[in-house]
A = this chain, B = another copy of it.
Amino acid sequence: MLGGIEAGGTKFVLAAGRSPADIAARHVIPTGDPANTLREAADWFRAQGALASLGIASFGPVDLDPGSLTWGYITSTPKPGWRNCDIAGFFAKTLSCPVGFDTDVNAAALAEWRARGASRQASLAYVTVGTGIGGGVVAGGEIFGRPTHPEVGHIRVARHEDDGEFAGSCPYHGDCLEGLVSGPAIVARWGRRLDELQDEGTREVVAHYLGQLCLAMFSFSAVERVVMGGGVMETPGLLERVRDSFAKLDNCYLPGGVDRKIEGPALGERSGITGALVLAENALSQQDD
């Protein structure tokens, strides 16, 4: 039995199953302080029977450097109590099994890449637009960016011509991408969630910024596909608008234009937790090597 944790800032999704595609049991706990949250998760896994391995797909920033003394830690998060939390070490000790560890978006990218039965050459980025904005890339069958990881949410963007007022909600950067169109930024500026706003203009503005994210993702990571998940992307029609925005911004410049795709997750909401189980599987096969 494999175990998986999608460790998010608001909830922990837990799963156990024989393979990433075959989840036998699933459980959700709200993210509280580390001591209680981790103990509650460990208790649930123990009730499922012995685990062969566990995969953790975590919110970040995290330490992914295998040569580092703090590998498997959540590091400089502003989330109260979680800074320098040895999440991988806790479960390795408590559950006595090999632990795979990565960012939530790297794991989701890996799961989406596998779900497409992709060739080794195929490359893909997974982007989440929700409480935060993050991204991970799989290229040549491998997660990209070792020994650190990409942090794509805080790039600067060109403002939309009808969007000059809002100063942005990012405590570090004001009107960086996350400060303009993360879920909380949208609520802060317009008073409600994007799918509750009946105003076409707001979706246009959000798509203008997310189109720039896709442009940068294609430009820097040279991926074929950007898969967009997260709560904000569930807004009806938003994905199509982001595609239009990207096409307008790119203006047929980038090579391989027709092969580039912007799409929703093949695994729906399960990209992250499936990715966690892929990490568990990888941890097991590494141990066998």
Q: Are B158 and A157 in contact (CB under 8 A)?
A: yes
**Which of A50-58, A249-257, A278-286 touches B?**
A249-257
Closest to A216 in B: B155
Q: Are A220 and B217 in contact (CB under 8 A)?
A: yes
A144 touches which one: B61, B76, B144 (CB < 8 A)? B144
The answer to whether residues A251 and B148 also contact, given A158-B157, A217-B220 and a CB cut-off of 8 A, is no
For residue A75, CB closer than 8 A to chain B, the reply is yes
Q: How far is the CB of A226 from chain B (nearest CB, A)?
A: 12
The answer to whether residues A215 and B148 also contact, given A249-B173, A255-B75 and a CB cut-off of 8 A, is no
Closest to A75 in B: B255
Q: How far is the CB of A121 from chain B (nearest CB, A)?
A: 6
Total copies of the chain: 2
Number of interface residues of A (CB under 8 A): 43
Q: How far is the CB of A273 from chain B (nearest CB, A)?
A: 24
For residue A30, CB closer than 8 A to chain B, the reply is no
Interface residue ranges of A59-82 to B (CB < 8 Å): 60-61, 67, 75-76
The answer to whether residues A215 and B155 also contact, given A220-B150, A222-B145, A222-B149 and a CB cut-off of 8 A, is yes
